[in-house]
Structure 1
Amino acid sequence: MNVNRGATIYYTKSAGTEVYRIEKSHDGGETWSAVGLTPLTEFTQKELQNGEKIHICVFAVNAEHKSEPSGDYPIYVRMRHISRRMV
Structure 2
Amino acid sequence: MLHNARLLLIGSVWRSWELLKDGFVHGLKSNGSRIGKVTLYTLLETPALGAALLAARKLGKKVACEQRTAVFEVLIL
TM-score with structure 1 length normalisation? 0.30
Give the structure with the larger strand fraction: 1
TM-score with structure 2 length normalisation? 0.32
Give the structure with the larger helix fraction: 2
